[in-house]
Structure 1
Amino acid sequence: MLLLAFALVASGELDRCLNTGEAARGVTTDMAACFVADFERADATLNVTYAKTMKRLPASRRAALRASQRAWIAQRDRACPLDNSPGAGTIERLNHPGCLATQTRRRITWLSRYR
């Protein structure tokens, strides 16, 4: 699982965050904050991309994209479940937002190509 979390280090800002302060020393709460901030940046980019995509579509296609986006959110949440079970460990605090960020970046790419 630890490999999964570190394999998700995709953005330069995430990399910089993980290499500074307590996160660089392996303090889980600080590392988790880096992953959460990375997801929040991806989510903000997703929202801008979605809005731009909606604006360029004809009205007849907007409802389909809206439905697709809602379905994607549910799919993303299924793909990135938060494991709160006993024994899951603190690595889940990195894996979960890392997974959300990865799924979100994939959707940004998809939205930017949507016609």
Structure 2
Amino acid sequence: MRRRLPALLLWGGLCLCLARPAVADAEHDRCIAASDGTNTSWATCGADLLKREDGRLNGAWKRVFAGLPDETRKNLLDEQRAWNAFKETSCLFYRSDDWGREGQVLHFPLCRAAVIAERVKALEGYGTFFKQ
């Protein structure tokens, strides 16, 4: 058992490193697969993923915000401004040199897309609550 533990830890660590957030949609996967394997093409795939997630966020915001009572609209607008500040600083650790170019062009957009997807989920939940 003692000999297996380091191997199991190594295997588990490798699996965690290779795990990707569920936010990487089929379009992103196709883009990565079709790319020439360069950082530039991977960065383009990541930027496109973030554009799609931002589009989902903007759509959810418009749908939900329009149907809210006045006081809730004001409070949610304040919250969204604070969340936007958070979003802009989220996942920046991947852009440091510690993570190399792979962190910058592969992991950063996936991380940021996951942050945006969680906000979309929260907004949609608010909208469902107020439709009741």
- How high is the TM-score relative to the length of structure 2? 0.72
**Structure 2 equivalent of residue 112 of structure 1:** 124
- Please list, as runs of the form range in 1=range in 2, the aligned pairs for 1:68-87 lying within 5 A after superposition: 68-81=79-92, 85-86=96-97
The reply to whether residue 93 of structure 1 matches residue 100 of structure 2 is no
- Please list, as runs of the form range in 1=range in 2, the aligned pairs for 1:1-115 lying within 5 A after superposition: 3=17, 7-8=20-21, 10-22=24-36, 26-81=37-92, 85-86=96-97, 88-91=99-102, 92-114=104-126, 115=129
* Structure 1: runs of 5+ lacking an equivalent: none
Amino acid at match of 1:105: A
Query: Per chain length, whose mean CA-contact separation is higher, i.e. which structure has more relative contact order (CA < 8 Å, sep 6+)?
Result: 1
Please identify runs of 4+ aligned residues in structure 1 that moved more than 4 A: 82-88
Name the % identity. Answer: 31
Tell me how far apart the structure 2 counterparts of residues 88 and 12 of structure 1 sit (CA, whole Å): 25
* Structure 2: runs of 5+ lacking an equivalent: 1-16
Q: Rg larger in 1 or in 2?
A: 2
Tell me how far apart the structure 1 counterparts of residues 96 and 78 of structure 2 sit (CA, whole Å): 32
Q: How many residues align?
A: 111
Deviates more, 1:32-41 or 1:75-84: 75-84
CA RMSD of aligned residues (A): 2.3
- How high is the TM-score relative to the length of structure 1? 0.81
CA distance change for structure 1 residues 82 and 36 in 2, over 3 Å: closer, same or farther? farther
Amino acid at match of 1:36: A
